[in-house]
Each structure stands twice: as C-alpha cells, then as structure tokens.
Structure 1
Amino acid sequence: MRSPRPRLMAGLLLVPLLSGCFSTSGDDSSSDSSGSGKGGRLRVALAFPPAENYSPYGQDAFDLSRLGVTEGLTRLDANGTAVPALAQSWSSDKSGKAWVFTLRDAKFQDGTDVTAEAVASALTRAAEADPAPSAVSGVKLTAKAVGAGRVEVSTAEADPVLPLRLSNPSLAVFSSKAYGQDGKVNPVGTATGPFALTRITGSTTAALDRFDDYWGGRAQASGIDAKFVSDGTARANALRTRDVDFAEAIPVAQVSTLDQGTVHEVNTARNTSLYLNTRTGVFKDARLRAAAREAIDTTAIAKGVYEGYAEPAQGLYGPALTWAAGKRTEPTARAKAADPKGRTITVATYNDRPELPEAAQVLQQQLKKAGFTVKLEVRAYARLESDLLAGKFDASVASRNMMLDTGDPVTVLAGDFGCGGSYNLSLLCDKNVDGLITAAQTESDPAERQNAAMRAEAAILGTDAVIPLVHLKVVTGVGTSVKGALLDPYERDFVGTGTRL
C-alpha cells in the first residue's frame, strides 16, 4: 500500500531511472552436478569477500542483501521507486521532516517478532555508526516507536526521498540479539530475509538455510552455499565446471569461454572512474589533476579493456539513466593543465573486478606519456578499502554503481563527493560542490531533483577530483539449471524466494 499523501510521495517517483527491469533467468533443464533438484541448495560465487566482518554498515551489507539475508523498511523496484518491504505503508507530516512507517507482521530469524521498538533501535544504531552508512551520510536521522507496529523516522531537514534512503542494505533491520556491547552486529540468524546465515568461515565461505517463517513466503531453495572468490577467472571456471550455480561479475575476457546460455548481461548505472586525491600529494594541485584528465583516452579503455561491455563515459550518470543525457552541461572554470615534470604518483586498484588492473595499466601508460611517473598498487578490495578511504594513494581506479546506495541521483553525490561523505575516495571538500549538493537534496519534484543533480555533477567534474572512464554492463553467470535468477540493475539482489534449481 502506498502512502496516502501522493503530493509528498511525488518526490520518490524518480522514474524511469533505469531502462529495462529486473530479469529472471533459467529454463526447465534438469539439475546439474549438485544433484539438488527442486528445493535444493544454491551454490553461488560472489566477487567481494567481506571486508568488515559482515558489518551491515559498510560494503559488506550488499553481500548480505544479495544473499537474501537482510532487508529494510523499503526496497527499490526496477524503476528506482521505493516500495514496501518490512513497512507496508508510510506517510510524512506537512514539514517533510517526520515520516511514519506502518510495519507488516514479520518475524526475525531468531523467532522473535519484528516490533516498532526493534526497528527503531536498529535504525538508531545504524544512524550512530562510525563511519555512517553512505545512505545517511550528512543526514541527522532519528527513529522511535509511536504505537504498535508504527515507527516514526525523522530528519533534521525535510527529506523527500527518505523512503528511498531506507532501502539501502546498510539500514537493514536486525533483532536485539544481533547487537553486542562492543558495538558490533552479528547477522547470523538475526535478520529478516528469506535466507538465514548459519555458518561463516572467515571471509571465504558462508552457509545459509531457508527461513521458513519469512513474511514474503517460503523460499523454493532450501539454502545457499556461498563462496567469496576475488579472482574473476576462478569464478568463471567454477561456473563452467558446474561447481557453482551462479557467478557474480564475470570478467569480459572470460565471457567467450562460457556456454552462451549461461551468460546474462544487464545495463547498470555502474562506472569505472579514476579518483584523484585532492587532499594530499601530487593531485592536491588542481592543475596536475587537469593534466591527468587531458592525458586520458577513455575510448582506448572501453575498447581495449572492456571489449564492448562498456562505452566511454560522458559523466557520472551513464546511458542506463535515460534522463541524464538531455540534462548534462559541460563543466566550467576548470584549472589549466600544468607540466607534471616527472612527478611520481601511486595509483591503486583492486583485482576483484579483473578489468580494473587492466584499466590501471592502460592509464599508467597514458599518464607516463603525459609526464607522470606512475606506480601501481593492486590488492583484493578487502585489503584495500581502508587505505583508499584514508587517502593513502594519489589516485585510485574504482568501479561504482551510482544508484547502488539509494536509487536517488543526489544521495550518492553527498556520500562520494561531499565534505562529510563516507565514501569520498577523492577526499574532495569544495564549498561550491557542497552547496549544490545541499540545494539538490531539498528538491522534491523528480525533474527538478534530476536537474539539480546534473548541476552538481558539472561542478564535481569541474574540480577534476574524479575522471569518469567508462559506463558498464555487468555480466552474471547463471547455470542453465537455474530458474528465477535475479538480474538486478541496482546490484542489490542476486537470489530470491523464487530462485531454484
């Protein structure tokens, strides 16, 4: 059920954000080598091992979401609209600062009821996490129970996209048993999704069982056996040899080695970009950032590295976001490029997405030609994230889905490029950029919010803090015996209640 305030809810209807829709995959083939058959266990290979011991407040939250462990008050549909999850309806007051969410009848995986008090406590803990989840970066969010099955969520300023914000996997709801005195959250058997974590083996594997009391209906698969495999070739090999039923993020170089029926691509809002450290080192100088931008040939990366599964970037918002192209304006007042004079820079990237080291090598040659001395640092993402966020490198090559956090084109700008942003790889803090982001956050009309986002985009690109390289398609490997696979343009969902062998 929708909120009874259509005028206030209009700010949520930022559609169509993405072309296409959620897809399902599979046929009526018999079970593969698992011998599971209908109701059997699904075997998946995910690309990113947990980097924060399954903390729900960072990037690990997306693994929990993809595995069907967690959910929040809302979720995103294919058009980027907030739709019911644990909340069945919501409405805001006249100020737009307070929203009341009416909960559905649901249980936690430990058998306790989902109550307004439990939900309010979970949201409060998430809002107080340090660092804050990107979805609430810069937002003063509070939550309290206001009656049986009703939760009031408030913000210091009017927030027309709060229901979108609450769809972020980092704002998932857990039972009271999940929260330790040390502030850590244990997601094993304490969430609300259709699959419950039962066993974790470090950062390498996880086992999940079907949660039979899931409010959305009993999942058709009896459980999931998950592997975290950073090496993309190894993920493709596991799919090809039928060691797994799903393989996330198949490298483009491996696509031709797989059976055609197992390769599924989807347009996303994901970019690969070069982020330049604006706080310390060589690229604190805007003139040298401009020199790096002028040195880069994005077409060479799109064709040579991504082999047709990407196109040269036009900005932060790619062609999958169909509204962006007609609203884009060229950045103004960019610094003039200066001679690098052999200055040494270290460019970091991660190998969980195998195209990234290849892209970094191409950039290394292009930047050397322009006069930089370039060193590369390549690690698994789990070993790199903290150093990236701490600004220990001059630059980083990273892949980012611009709609991953909330489905709102403005919120991601605050998290990635605002002074207080929690995923600010460029460490950018620019008064003009912050002002434009703040102005965009107040817009409730969908078209005006998009226009404001594009003005902020132009200002961000004008700083040369980030150099968008390519817009990506994501390739997922799905065994031919699988039915109901989720191909999500937001990259939050991987398996659902209807996914089965």
Structure 2
Amino acid sequence: MDATGQGLVRFDAAGQIEPGLAERWTVLDGGGSYIFRLREAYWQDGTRVTAEQVVQLLRRRLSPRSDNPLSPFLTAIDEIVIMTPQVIEIRLSRPRPDLLKLFAQPELTLIRPAPAWGSGPLRMAKAGAAPLLRPAFDPGRADPDDQRELEPEQDVRLIGERASLAILRFAMRRSDYVAGGSFADWPLLATVDLPRTAVRIDPAAGLFGLAVVRREGFLADAGNRLALSEAIDRAQLVAAIAPTWEAADRILPDTLDSAAPPQVPSWSLLTLEQRRAAAQARVAAWPEQVRLRIALPRGSGATLLYGSLAASFASVGVVLDRVAPTEEADLRLIDVVAPYDSARWYLATACAPCAEPATQALEAARTAPDQASRGAAIAAADVEMNADGAFIPLARPLRWSLVATRLAAWQPNARAWHPLNRLRPDAN
C-alpha cells in the first residue's frame, strides 16, 4: 500500500516527513489546524486526484469503525473540510503538533477501489502473489518524456515468504532486499554466508516486552507482577539473541511529550541477586506452585527468548509455559515500532490492560486541552503504570534488513520504515 499509494505526507529514506499528495502545508494554532495544498496527482487509472476524493478517503480511514490501528490516536481530529479545489483543512478539537508523523504512516495511505488504486510513487504493473511494480508517472517532474522510458532495474517485484526462504534467496543473489526482519528471525542470519555489509539494523523506537493480560491469581497483585520484572536477567536475554541488542527496564525511552522524565523501576539499583531474592520470597509465600503461560510468535529467536525468560522465572520458582499467539495466556509479547514520538502512545500501547488510575490518567492525556496539561497527565500515567506492573519492558524492538550494495540510498531510522522508491540513489 505504501509503495502504490500515499497519504497527504509520507516518510523519506531517513524516516522524516516529505510531501505526498500534499505539496506543502501550514500548521496553525499550535497544532490545532493543518492546511494542506494538494499537488497535481493521478490515480493509477489516469484520473486526477481531487480534494473531494481525498477528504472522503481520509474520513473513511479515520472513522472509529475502520480497521485502522491508529484511530485511537487520532481522536482529536474534529473535521476535515474542503477550502478550495486544491486546499483542504484538518481541524482539531485539541492541539496535536505531532500529527504529521501519524499521517505519514502506511495505515493512512489513500487507496481507491480498482482500477483506480493509488497515486504512486509506484504503480501496479502486474498483480498476483508476487506483484510487479513500476514508477508512476509524475507530472511534477521536469522531464516527463524520460519517465516513459523505464529501465528494467526500475521494476520492483514484491515476494512475500517465510524469513528462511527470503534470507536464502538473498544469499543466492536472487533478490536485492529483505525487509521486515525481527528478533524472531534474527538467528537465521547465522546459517548462511552473507556479504559483510548486507545486514542492516534500524535504531527502532518502540515497545518490546510482556503485557500482563490476565490479572488473576498470582498476577492479581501489583507487587507480584513487579516481582516477575525484577527476576529477569535482561543482559543475558538480549545477548542470547543478538549481542548488540539494547535492553530496556522502563516503558518510556525518553521524556518525549511527558512533563517528567521516564519512571525508573524501584529495583533498578539493586543487583540481580538482590532482585531475585526479593522475587523468590514473594513466590514462596504463594500457597501453590506459580505456573504462567506466555504467548510468543514462531521463530528461533522467539524460542531463545522463551528459554531465557523461563530460566529467569525458574530462578525464583515460577514455571513458564509457552503457547501460540492465538491461545489463552497470562503474558503476551508486545513487539511494535512507535508510529510517532509520543509518551502517550507508549503508555496506551503498554496498557493491555492496566489499573483504573492509569487508565484514567491516559484518558486525561487524550482529552487534555493544551500541551502543558497533556504532559502532566502523561507523567501521572507513567507513575501509575510503573506502580501497577502491567507491562514488563525487556528491550527495544529489533528490526533488521538485508540490503544489496546497489541499494545505496537505504538509511537506518527510528521508524524502521524504508520506502521502496527511496532505496536506489537514482530513484525518484
């Protein structure tokens, strides 16, 4: 969707905002109003993109009834109106200076039903299980005639397959790029001979940890939930999967838009032995054997993660059973890259579920009338989440790609997002 369509704005190779359907924009009232001037653009069937179509598609994508996972973070949008045939305005009930990063997400790509499809930057030349994409005609370029003479290397063939097959295909030089790598597939890279510079890692920002999804029995007590977090040897955990992987012991990576620095767990200054002794005492006081189920994805990396967590929990007397992601569980892995730099996103995503005081503070942050009160509410939510033990942070998300030498425009970024039209130095 991101390759064949675009929203008002999109991400460039470095994960920064660049024009999409909007050629320029103005932010007014401290983020309370966004005015976009649309550029000349065409759907795949050759018809002109109109402001009326853009507004209609945006309203549909932003509807609470849509399947858009970003909808809960876009509730401040009050209305979308057409000002002129080339200008639209998005009016907000509450200021949101960070809205553009959300609008650049692939989930807000504007696609019409066939045969119109999207507006580029690539177009569907051949559909199917492995679609063929080609550069779309761009009337804004100075050399429109040259655009009709496409070289074979400008074609993009998309193949969706298991990580093991994708890695092998790249090693055999039958592909130039492997995207979407995570911790679950990382150990597979050691099984093949790859060029030294092929493996690329993004400094991805987001959440990687365990949500306490069943608050019953041993997990009904916040002190017990915190004890589980205390027991984990995070240094050993990340080293077992990827030596350069960065561990985490708190939900927020930085202050971001909170009014206070991230909450640090009370046990952070204790040694691992001291932490485990305290956790073991709580487990020993429980009247029966503590046995928990953890939902993890498939993959060798997930198996290593399970082994490390099971060993940490066993050290304090807790038995950990692994189940599939679709099965009932007590703990469930959250592994997601942050779509934008908001502390509220981190806390709301980690709250799955969390205690009522944390939920109320997050709702206060969502409905805050200004940035100062929003930051204060976010800071309060961070305090409540830290005390509640609803989420067990483990590390930053691990995102990797395999990149051929000729895709020299690939750049690592915190969004771990790499548009297909921004991989080659001569791409447009």
When the two structures are superposed, what TM-score results if normalisation uses the length of structure 2? Answer: 0.78
Structure with higher Rg: it is 2
- Equivalent pair of 1:143/1:151 in contact (CA under 8 Å): yes
Matched, 1:194 2:121: yes
Choose from 59, 80, 84 the match for 1:143: 80
Amino acid at match of 1:193: G
Q: Deviations for 1:395-414, whole angstroms, at most 9, x for unmatched residues?
A: 12232213xx2x22235236
Look up the SS of the partner of 1:347 in the other structure. Answer: strand
Matched, 1:238 2:163: no
Structure-2 separation of matches of 1:364 and 1:414:
26
Look up the SS of the partner of 2:246 in the other structure. Answer: strand
Q: Deviations for 1:112-156, whole angstroms, at most 9, x for unmatched residues?
A: 222111111111111225365333305153323222112222333
- Structure 2 alignment gaps of length 5 or more: 142-146, 268-277
Q: Deviations for 1:203-239, whole angstroms, at most 9, x for unmatched residues?
A: xx431321432467658743222222333x3332221
Choose from 155, 158, 168 the match for 2:105: 168
Structure-2 separation of matches of 1:317 and 1:69:
34
Tell which has more relative contact order, 1 or 2 (C-alpha 8 A, sep 6+): 1
How far did 1:260 drift?
0.2
Structure-2 separation of matches of 1:101 and 1:127:
17
Amino acid at match of 1:134: P
Pairing of 1:133-282 with structure 2 (within 5 A): 133-137=68-72, 139-141=75-77, 142-175=79-112, 177=113, 190-197=117-124, 201=128, 205-214=129-138, 221-231=153-163, 233-248=164-179, 249=181, 251-256=185-190, 257-278=193-214
Paired positions, count: 396
How far did 1:298 drift?
0.8
Choose from 350, 353, 358 the match for 1:427: 353
- Equivalent pair of 1:73/1:87 in contact (CA under 8 Å): yes
Matched, 1:128 2:63: yes
How far did 1:284 drift?
4.2
Equivalent position of 1:370 in the other structure: 316
Structure-1 separation of matches of 2:385 and 2:66:
23
Structure-2 separation of matches of 1:245 and 1:191:
25
Q: Deviations for 1:248-299, whole angstroms, at most 9, x for unmatched residues?
A: 2274434453220322233221443122115567634434322321221111
- Structure 1 alignment gaps of length 5 or more: 1-63, 179-187, 379-383, 419-425
Matched, 1:409 2:338: no
Structure-2 separation of matches of 1:414 and 1:270:
11
Structure-2 separation of matches of 1:124 and 1:112:
21
How far did 1:376 drift?
0.8
CA spacing shift, 1:410–1:134, aligned 2, 3 Å: farther
Pairing of 1:94-109 with structure 2 (within 5 A): 94=29, 96-109=31-44
Taking only the aligned residue pairs, the percentage that are identical comes to 19
Q: Deviations for 1:340-363, whole angstroms, at most 9, x for unmatched residues?
A: 5323322111136x4233212221
- Equivalent pair of 1:487/1:494 in contact (CA under 8 Å): no
Equivalent position of 2:275 in the other structure: none
How far did 1:167 drift?
1.6
Matched, 1:397 2:333: yes
Structure-2 separation of matches of 1:409 and 1:143:
23
C-alpha RMSD of matched pairs (Å): 3.8
Structure-1 separation of matches of 2:329 and 2:155:
41
When the two structures are superposed, what TM-score results if normalisation uses the length of structure 1? Answer: 0.68
Amino acid at match of 1:124: R
Q: Deviations for 1:186-216, whole angstroms, at most 9, x for unmatched residues?
A: xx86112222345555xxx431321432467
Structure-2 separation of matches of 1:344 and 1:395:
11
Structure-1 separation of matches of 2:237 and 2:29:
49
How far did 1:300 drift?
1.1
